[in-house]
Each structure stands twice: as structure tokens, then as C-alpha cells.
Amino acid sequence: MAMHPSRSCFSVLVVVYLLQYKLFFVHCILNPLDFLALQSVRKSLDDMPGSNFFASWDFTSDPCNFAGVYCESDRVIALNLGDPRAGSPGLIGRLDPAIGKLSALTELSVVPGRIMGSLPQSISQLKDLRFLAVSRNFLSGGIPATLGQLRNLKTLDLSYNQLTGDIPRSIGTIPGLSNVILSHNHISGSIPPFLSETLTRLELKHNELSGYISPTSLPPSLQYLSLSWNRLSGPVDLLLSRLDRLNYLDLSMNQLSGCIPSRIFTFPITNLQLQRNSFSGPVQPGGQVTIPTVDLSYNRLSGGISPLFSTVQSLYLNNNRFTGQIPGSFADRLLDASIQILYLQHNYLTGMQINPTVEIPLSSSLCLQYNCMVPPIQTPCPLKAGKEKTRPTGQCNEWRG
């Protein structure tokens, strides 16, 4: 029996279609769900002027060859959106929720640009995700509490955005977190406990965080802690005494109070920033201080200045309530240029043993004005130190009394 001509043509078309379909999937072996997810990501983003990141995103070719797409077998395992070279224009648009369909993803990053809107809740479906970085964009809204479901996450960087709300407590329960960078946002509330015993970097500076920091809320594994420019309050001596692996500490520009623990000066810190708080009481290091930069200015610290600070290269003790004579070891180290900056202005100090005819090395800066003495040596001070050389006698007598 002869085949009807129309049925014969249909059969040929089906065969041709199947051959094309087969050839396409021989060429592009990517999982269909990943393929569709990448299409959605592309539709929601564009290159900013000067960027040609998406030029290679031609969906008639293999997406595993796209810029920023990295595959293993038939799955996308890393997605780095935007040209990573310094100064390159970024991307504009929003992150499509379909990004959560890339279920094998271990790394997701977006270069600085103009990504707006909220961070998609669907990212919490990426159970293998270890690295999430979307910094220096315009993300808004809250940090999804569901990010706590990313139990393999090591690095979370959402810095320099416009995020609001608090830090979800669920994030602090992620067991293997190493780096949390949420600085330069509008995040409020208190700092939740972080339970990860591998957390080494915590950056929360330039936010609107407030309240007390529990002595046990941060793990002793921390090496880098930056909480400056917030509204944190209360004592931190018990907390700091536990963090003996710190090599960088910045708690400046808060409302922290209480004493500064002597133990902290023995930590392997290269930069200690505690200025502009309400710390009070004497400061007595347990041994010679080898931290290169120590800034304790603009607090309420009192008592004598310990000679153990004379080994610090840049020491800011100005605008406190220190009293008594300045130890002679400071003069010795100033004259041999071991001290680069020694700011002691705006205290209640009564003297310094130094020859008034000596010249301070050009590489060193000394400021003594507005104390309970006539500065024994005239040196240039920063402009904000004011013009008065000596504190009024009445203030000095009142402080001594």
C-alpha cells in the first residue's frame, strides 16, 4: 500500500527535527534546567556602557563556554557575572529567581555594578553553594533568613549595598562559615551569635547595629574583626579576652564602655583601632607592646601612660584623661625615629623629660598641646587639636583635686 504524500513529508520532517535535536545536544550537553536558568539570568541583566561581558552569551552555542560560566560534566558549578578586571563597568538589572535552579552551583559572584532589587530567596536552594559575593551594587531589602539553609557556605559577601533589616540568626548557625562581610549597608539590630569554629573574618562596619555584644557570641577563631561606625554599646572586655588570634581589630566609632583588657596588647594584632568610644579606667599592658598602630583616642581613659607603649610605631592616646609624667622611654624612641606618631594632646599630663633644644626627626610627629604643662618642645599638631597650647589651670586643679 502506497504511503500518502502528506504523511511521507511529515515523517521526513520528524526525522530532520530529531536529527537537529540530537546534534544540538551532542554539541551542548548542559542540563536543560541549567540551560533555561542561564537564559532567565541573561534576560534580567545587561552590560553597563563600556562592558561587553555578555557578548559571548550566544545560546545557539555551548553555555559552558560563556564568559563567567564554569561547568563540570553537564552542570554549572560556578557563575561569575561581570568582567572581574579592576575598573571594568559592571552589569545592570536584577538577579532572576531562576538562579536558584542552578542546583549544582558552588560559587556565585557578581562584580560591582548596578544590580538592584532584593537578593532572591531562591538562592537558599543552592545546597552546595560555598561562595556567595554580590558586593558594591544596589541590592535592597533584607538579608533572607533562608540563607541559613546554605550549610556548606564558607564566604558571604554582601558589602556596599543598601540592605536593611537585621542579620538573621540563622546565618550565625552555618557550621563552616569562614568569612562574613556585610559592611557598608543599613543593617540594624544586634549582632547574632556566630557558632562556626572556623570563622576568621567578620566585617560589619558602617551599619546601624546596636546593643550589647555577648561575651560568647563570637568564636576565638576570629583573626579579623571590624565593627566600626555602628551604635554598639556596653563592655567588651570579656569578649576581647577570648579572641587571642586577632591580627586586626577595629571597634572605633561606637558607644562601647568599660575597661580595655590588658591581654589584648599581647595578641598578634597589626592594627588596633578602639578610638571614639567610651572606654574608661587605666590601660596597663601585660608586656612590651609590639602592635605597630594603636589608636585609643577620644575615650575616657585615665591614669598614667605606661612605658610599655613606647615600642608602638604610631600611638594615638589624645583626647583622654591621662595624668602624670610622660615616661622617658618615649623621648628616647622619638629621637631615634622609632616612633612615627605620638599624639598625647588633650589630656592632663604634667611633663615630659626631653631637651627643649633637640630636633624631632622629620619622619616623626609629636603633639603635646592642651595638657597641664607648657609643651617642653614646640612641634606642629593636627589642626583639630586647636590653638591653645596649655589646658586652663582651673581644669588641671579640679582634675587633681
Average pLDDT over residues 291-318: 98
379 belongs to a structural domain = yes
pLDDT band per the 50, 70, 90 thresholds, residue 102: very high
pLDDT of residue 66: 96
CB 69 within 8 A of CB 76: yes
- Position 306, amino acid: S
Average pLDDT over residues 354-366: 89
> CA 153, CA 129: separation in Å to the nearest integer?
6
Parent domain of 378: 265-400
> CA 288, CA 66: separation in Å to the nearest integer?
56
pLDDT of residue 28: 52
Classify residue 398 as exposed, middle or buried by CB count within 10 Å of its CB (0-12, 13-18, 19+): exposed
320 belongs to a structural domain = yes
260 belongs to a structural domain = no
The CATH number assigned to the domain holding 312 equals 3.80.10.10
351 belongs to a structural domain = yes
pLDDT band per the 50, 70, 90 thresholds, residue 87: confident
pLDDT tens digits along 326-345:
999 999 999 999 999 999 99
CB 143 within 8 A of CB 161: no
CB 213 within 8 A of CB 242: no
Give the DSSP per-residue string, 93-114: EE--GGGGG-TT--EEEE-SSE
Average pLDDT over residues 41-63: 96
275 belongs to a structural domain = yes
SS3 per-residue string spanning 151-187: CCCCEEECCCCEEECCCCCCHHHCCCCCEEECCCCCC
51 belongs to a structural domain = no
Find, among 204, 99, 185, the residue nearest to 142 by Cα. Answer: 185
Residue 188 pairs in a beta bridge with 208
pLDDT band per the 50, 70, 90 thresholds, residue 5: very low
pLDDT of residue 401: 55
Q: Evaluate if residue 6 carries a pLDDT over 80.
A: no
pLDDT of residue 7: 41
Pick the residue with more confidence: 88 or 275? 275
Q: Evaluate if residue 123 carries a pLDDT over 50.
A: yes
Neighbours of 328 (CB within 10 A): 13
Residue located via cell numbers 536558568: 37
> CA 382, CA 387: separation in Å to the nearest integer?
10
Q: Evaluate if residue 49 carries a pLDDT over 70.
A: yes
Q: Evaluate if residue 108 carries a pLDDT over 90.
A: yes
Polymer length of the chain: 401
Classify residue 263 as exposed, middle or buried by CB count within 10 Å of its CB (0-12, 13-18, 19+): middle
Q: Evaluate if residue 14 carries a pLDDT over 70.
A: no
343 belongs to a structural domain = yes
pLDDT tens digits along 249-258:
999 999 999 9
Half-sphere exposure of 128 (CA within 13 A, CB side): 11
Find, among 263, 251, 265, 188, the residue nearest to 218 by Cα. Answer: 251
pTM flag (> 0.85)? yes
Residue located via cell numbers 615616661: 327
pLDDT band per the 50, 70, 90 thresholds, residue 355: confident
Q: What is the CA radius of gyration of the chain?
A: 30
Q: Evaluate if residue 16 carries a pLDDT over 60.
A: no
Report the number of distinct structural domains present in the chain. 1
55 belongs to a structural domain = no
Residue located via cell numbers 601612660: 305
CB 378 within 8 A of CB 351: no
Residue located via cell numbers 554598639: 232
CB 339 within 8 A of CB 330: yes
Q: Evaluate if residue 13 carries a pLDDT over 70.
A: no
- Position 99, amino acid: I
The three-class DSSP label of residue 192 is: coil
> CA 212, CA 34: separation in Å to the nearest integer?
45
- Position 293, amino acid: T
pLDDT tens digits along 170-229:
999 999 999 999 999 999 999 999 999 999 999 999 999 999 999 999 999 999 999 999
